[in-house]
Amino acid sequence: MIVQAENLRKYVSAVLQTVGLPVQDSDIVAESLVSANLRGVDSHGVTRLPIYVKRLKLGVANPDPQVKVVEESDATLLIDGDDGMGQVVGTRAIRLGIEKARKSGAVFIGVKRSTHFGTGAFFVQQGVNADLVTYAMSNAPATMAPWGGIQPYIGTNPYAFGVPVGKHKPIILDMATSVVARGKIIMAAQKGEEIPLGWAIDKEGRPTTDAAAALEGSVLPFGGPKGYAISLMIDIMSGVLTGAGFGPHINNIYGDFDKPQNVGHFFQLVDINRFMPADLFKQRIDQMIDEIKSALRAAGTDEIFLPGEIEFRVERQRLEQGIPLSREVYVDIKKVGEECGVSINDYESAILA
Amino acid sequence: MIVQAENLRKYVSAVLQTVGLPVQDSDIVAESLVSANLRGVDSHGVTRLPIYVKRLKLGVANPDPQVKVVEESDATLLIDGDDGMGQVVGTRAIRLGIEKARKSGAVFIGVKRSTHFGTGAFFVQQGVNADLVTYAMSNAPATMAPWGGIQPYIGTNPYAFGVPVGKHKPIILDMATSVVARGKIIMAAQKGEEIPLGWAIDKEGRPTTDAAAALEGSVLPFGGPKGYAISLMIDIMSGVLTGAGFGPHINNIYGDFDKPQNVGHFFQLVDINRFMPADLFKQRIDQMIDEIKSALRAAGTDEIFLPGEIEFRVERQRLEQGIPLSREVYVDIKKVGEECGVSINDYESAILA
């Protein structure tokens, strides 16, 4: 199926409104999901709508949270998300953070009692649009063992970073701290395909190419012990420091239906004007990008990319040509709409093919 | 040779004093170098003394810099290092940062016009001793190609992170963003040994096991494109944002003897008390450490380590038993002392064996 972004966004927002989200919060979540699809990050796109609706209906995610600043200083904010949707809680945090970074020069924001926040890029882009260097991180349910261990302890905690630039597209890094997203292993298991060695270990800690065995074991961190250490840093800042869950004490979005997730996030925003005039900074970062793009390439490499550049190209293409959804995902999101009394047919111009 | 840490420190400081460093600044550099040896990070230990002395004598490093705060806000500092020794400039930055983080809750510090700063752990420990979560990063001369490229563009930019804990040793992460330190490839080349595939590419961009060919090519980032992106982030914050050199526009400590390095650093300090009482934070981080240490281990793994834990053990051992130095390093540091009119024999209790 090929669907049109704007109508898909309206459909997702309409479904979320039926389970208690205010219009503007529904729009935020819909924007995050459809933006992920547009950028080619389909694992964090509308495929998440059914589980979000399920948790909202069960009351383990709060459709209308009282997001509160519980600690504050010139350069820090601690925010209680009241079990709201991560995209809603995170967007409030970023908005408060933009204000504070402009006033104080920079801000560290901890968030507790939140839920799955979608992509880190979604928040980083909000900061970059306000001309701030922005970091977004989150912890996540345990799927990776500590280095040398075999039991999942930390999540594939995402690390995102964005930089305003001049004439180019912004640099937007958004990565899981695992070698690959766990979703790729789930897909291989469903298809009965093998996975490459190095993606995961089985429950005894042995390297495995068996996708099903990998799902019972642990995903491996990117870059071995170094990537594990960065994932641990993210959990310390998002979980331990904020008062959210950490390690295995975060509830699984797909498994723990009796309690909120208690995910924690960690954002940082920096005003470039406190270091040099923004115009000069943008000249310098443009120079860096120009130099990297024109560097000598290895045989077989057609082009050198900056972080986020490929996603911008996919986005441009999908804005023009529509978002391709698998039949499974289309059926899933259609069904959840029907259960909520929203017919995807009312948004039928969403379907291009 | 086995040398005793305290006397080695005095010797290094005495040598640096002869080339114009004030006593307290000499002590800081000596402390950084010997601390690296104590922690087993010999590549950043006293082996650096001869090149430091050479650059100070040539006037491309400034022995008595006027380190100045050139931009300041509640949550940011931009510091001009006046081409001083990185350890001296960085220590002033951290001291100012500790003060500001206590006042404002957190601080981002950019440093320009600095030089090789030794280990990131040295600064992170200073922040952690003041009960602050601390990050230390620096750019470095180009030795890594952008992902897909074959010409070195970014350095093996170090990333360091430290966390105060309760009953355990602090978590101190300090890593290069390359697969391995370039020094290991230099050593292999000197011995005529092969290097493992995956450490480096040759100047045509081909994976190589030939150490000499690797030195003419590029070191590879840890974790492929993800590690490259993190190294790039460090250069953007340390170099582009501060006004220091970036990419290939940083001068090489071992090659460019006609001009200062213009290295940039980037530090972050966060007051944990602005998020929760420090005692509670320390209980939580201790719980995390206890859980990781007691996790089920893979076959062949005797113990699971936290970042920095192995270095603390080496340090305890080397404080008791002395620091082993290779004959080459011993001869080099003895010779540079002689050239400065300082005899290592006057510190002979430094030599244990």
Q: Please calculate the CA angle A209-A212-A214 and round it to the nearest 5 degrees.
A: 55
Structure tokens at A196: 């490459």
Note the pLDDT of residue B273.
98
Q: What is the mean pLDDT of chain A?
A: 95
Nearest CA in chain B to A79: B275
Which of B105, B236, B296 has its CB closest to that of A75? B105
Exposure string for A269-283, b = 16+ CB within 10 A, e = fewer: bbbbbbbbeeeebbb
| DSSP state string for A245-270 | --GGGS--TTT-TTS---EEEEEEEE
Average pLDDT over every residue of A280-292: 98
Measured between alpha carbons, how far is A274 from B71 in angstroms, rounded to an integer? 7
**Closest A-chain CA to B177:** A226
Q: Which residues of A touch B275 (CB under 8 A)?
A: 71, 76, 78, 110, 241-243
Domain with CATH 3.30.1370.60 in chain A: 65-176+224-294
Range list for CATH 1.10.1530.10 in chain A: 1-58+317-352
Of B163, B230, B247, the CB nearest to A291: B247
Residues of chain B with CATH 3.30.60.50: 180-219
Cross-strand partners of A270: A106, A133
Closest residue in B to A160 (Cα) is B230
Is CATH 3.40.50.2000 the right assignment for the domain spanning A65-176+224-294? no
| Pairing assessment for the beta strands A106-114 and B323-324 based on DSSP bridges | unpaired
Residues 6+ apart with CB under 8 A from A324: A1, A2, A318
| Tens digit of each residue's pLDDT (9 = 90 or more) over B141-194 | 999 999 999 999 999 999 999 999 999 999 999 999 999 988 788 888 888 999
What is the per-residue pLDDT for B96? 98
Distance CA A11, CA A23 (A): 12
Q: How many whole angstroms separate alpha carbon A71 and alpha carbon A241?
A: 12
pLDDT higher than threshold 90 for residue A197: yes
pLDDT tops 90 at residue A182: no
Contacts of A305 in chain B (CB under 8 A): 147-148
Q: How high is the pLDDT of residue B333?
A: 96
Question: Average pLDDT, stretch A184-193?
Answer: 87
Query: What CATH class does A1-58+317-352 carry?
Result: mainly alpha
Closest residue of chain A to B242, computed from CA coordinates: A275
H or E element at residue A90: helix A86-104
Question: What is the rounded distance in angstroms from the CA atom of residue B311 to the CA atom of residue A128?
Answer: 38
Contacts of A128 (CB under 8 A, 6+ apart): A134, A162, A163, A164, A170, A172
Q: Which residues of A touch B149 (CB under 8 A)?
A: 292, 295-298, 301, 304
Mean pLDDT of the B199-228 span: 94
Region of B131 (left: φ > 0; alpha: ψ -120 to 50; beta: rest) is left
Mutate to test the interface with A, among B72, B76, B216 (most CBs of A within 10 A): B76
The per-residue pLDDT for B1 is 87
Size of interface A-B (CB pairs under 8 A): 244
- In Å, how far are B3, B146, B149 from A303, measured between CA atoms? 51, 11, 9
Helix, strand or coil, per DSSP, at residue A34: helix
Q: Over 80: is that where the pLDDT of A64 sits?
A: yes
Residue A302: the pLDDT is: 95
Mean pLDDT across the stretch A171-188?
90
Q: What is the pTM of this model?
A: 0.97
Q: How far apart are CA B45 and CA A14, in angstroms?
A: 62
Of B115-119, B223-227, B297-301, where does mean pLDDT reach its minimum? B297-301
- Which tens digit of pLDDT belongs to each residue from B66-84? 999 999 999 999 999 999 9
Q: What is the pLDDT of residues B1-21, one digit of tens each?
A: 899 999 999 999 999 999 999
Instruction: Write down the pLDDT at residue B350.
Output: 53
User: What's the mean pLDDT when you consider all of chain B?
Assistant: 95
How would residue B351 be classed by pLDDT, with cut points 50, 70 and 90? low
Q: Can you say how many angstroms the Cα of residue A340 is from the centroid of all Cα atoms in its chain?
A: 25
For B224-246, give one letter per residue: b (16+ CB within 10 A) or e. Answer: ebbbbbbbbbbbbbbbbbbbbbb
- Identify the weakest region by mean pLDDT among A48-62, A162-176, A177-191, B28-42: A177-191
Give per-residue pLDDT as tens, A216-261: 999 999 999 999 999 999 999 999 999 999 999 999 999 899 999 9
Evaluate if residue A14 carries a pLDDT over 80: yes
Q: What is the pLDDT of residue B109?
A: 98
- Pick from B151, B171, B229: CB nearest A307: B229
Share of chain B above pLDDT 70, in %: 98
* Per-residue pLDDT band at B265 (split at 50, 70, 90): very high
Pick A182 or A37 by higher pLDDT: A37
B167 CA to centre of own chain: 26
Q: Do B205 and A301 touch (CB under 8 A)?
A: yes
Q: Is the pLDDT of residue A76 over 90?
A: yes
Q: What's the pLDDT at B190?
A: 85
Q: Name A187's Cβ contacts closer than 8 Å, sequence gap at least 6.
A: none
Beta-carbon separation of B304 and A146 below 8 A: yes
B305 backbone dihedrals φ, ψ, rounded to 5°: -110, 145
Nearest to B170 by CA among B136, B200, B226, B132: B132
> Does the pLDDT value for residue B64 go beyond 70?
yes
Structure tokens at A38: 């547009």
- The pLDDT of residue A125 is 98
How far is Cα A111 from Cα A266, in angstroms, rounded to an integer? 6
Higher pLDDT, B337 or A185: B337
Considering only the top CATH level, what class is B180-219?
alpha beta
Question: pLDDT at position A181, please?
Answer: 81
Confidence at B348, pLDDT banded by 50, 70, 90? low
Q: Which residues of B touch A222 (CB under 8 A)?
A: 223-224, 226-227
ipTM: 0.97
Per-residue pLDDT tens digits for A96-131? 999 999 999 999 999 999 999 999 999 999 999 999
Question: Which residues of B are less than 8 Å from A175 in CB distance?
Answer: 226, 229
Q: How many CA atoms lie within 13 A of A156 on its CB side?
A: 21
**Diameter of chain B measured on Cα atoms:** 56
Residue with tokens 């595939």: B197
Closest of A147, A118, A121 to residue A221, by C-alpha: A147
HEC sequence for chain B: CEECHHHHHHHHHHHHHHCCCCHHHHHHHHHHHHHHHHCCCHHHCHHHHHHHHHHHHHCCCECCCCCEEEEECCCEEEEECCCECHHHHHHHHHHHHHHHHHHHCEEEEEEEEECCCCCHHHHHHHHHHCCEEEEEEECCCCCECCCCECCCCECCCCEEEEECCCCCCCEEEEECCECCCHHHHHHHHHHCCECCCCCEECCCCCECCEHHHHHHCEECECCCHHHHHHHHHHHHHHHHCCCCCCHHHCCCCCCCCCCCCCEEEEEEEEEHHHCCCHHHHHHHHHHHHHHHHCCCECCCCCCCCCCCHHHHHHHHHHHHHCEECCHHHHHHHHHHHHHCCCCHHHHHHHECC
User: Which DSSP helix (H) or strand (E) runs through A72?
Assistant: strand A68-73
Q: pLDDT tens for residues A296-342? A: 999 899 999 999 999 999 999 999 999 999 999 999 999 999 999 99
CA distance B147 to B157: 15
Q: How far is A307 from chain B (nearest CA, A)?
A: 7
- Among A15-29, A102-116, A177-191, B323-337, the least confident range: A177-191
Q: Which residues in chain A have Cβ-Cβ distances shorter than 8 Å to B226?
A: 175, 222-223, 227
Mutation test of the interface with chain B: which of A236, A281, A302, A309, choosing the one with the most B Cβ atoms within 10 A? A236
